[in-house]
């Protein structure tokens, strides 16, 4: 079961916090070369932008398996995705990806919960490069 309530940016308003005024939830009219990986919307992150999901319950989890899709116009761009555990001094399961071309690429990683006392976590996705699109997050407890 996906722990995220808005994994594909379909809800209006979205449950994701966009930490840059230029970060946007966009549809298939955003660019001629890319359509959402699933559904009708996707997240567009410009240079140095960040988006954060809602907090979700991880009380019964030892770890989280995360899957998401990224799409960029060329291979010079990247996106970082990590799990932020509430109250933990560091984030778990950071991944750095390089996704080139007009095709969606699937990425997965596992984030181990640093303490069993932690009950909440959230997804943080960001980029230091231009116009990265992400979509279709899945976060499951293991």
What pLDDT, on a 0 to 100 scale, did the predictor assign at position 100? 59
What pLDDT, on a 0 to 100 scale, did the predictor assign at position 33? 78
What pLDDT, on a 0 to 100 scale, did the predictor assign at position 71? 85
- In tens digits, the chain (142 residues) has pLDDT values of 999 999 999 999 999 999 888 899 999 888 777 889 999 999 999 888 999 999 999 999 999 999 999 887 766 677 889 999 998 876 665 566 665 566 888 989 999 999 999 999 999 998 887 788 899 999 999 9
Query: How many CB atoms within 10 Å of residue 108?
Result: 11
Alpha carbon dihedral 34, 80, 59, 137, in 10-degree steps, equals 10
Q: What is the pTM of this model?
A: 0.91
What are the tokens at 109?
């990683």
Cα–Cα dist 142/72, whole Å: 30
């Amino acid at each position: 079961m996906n722990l995220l309530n808005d994994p594909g940016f379909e809800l209006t308003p979205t449950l994701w916090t966009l930490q840059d005024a230029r970060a946007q939830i966009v549809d298939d009219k955003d660019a001629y070369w890319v359509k959402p990986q699933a559904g009708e919307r996707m997240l567009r992150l410009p240079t140095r932008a960040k988006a954060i999901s809602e907090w979700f319950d991880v009380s019964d989890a030892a770890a989280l398996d995360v899957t998401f899709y990224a799409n960029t116009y060329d291979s010079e761009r990247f996106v970082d995705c990590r799990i932020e555990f509430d109250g933990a001094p560091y984030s778990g399961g950071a991944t750095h990806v390089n996704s080139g071309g007009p095709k969606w690429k699937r990425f997965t990683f596992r984030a181990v919960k640093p303490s069993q006392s932690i009950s909440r976590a959230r997804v943080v996705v960001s980029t230091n490069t231009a116009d990265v699109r992400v979509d279709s997050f899945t976060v499951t407890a293991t």
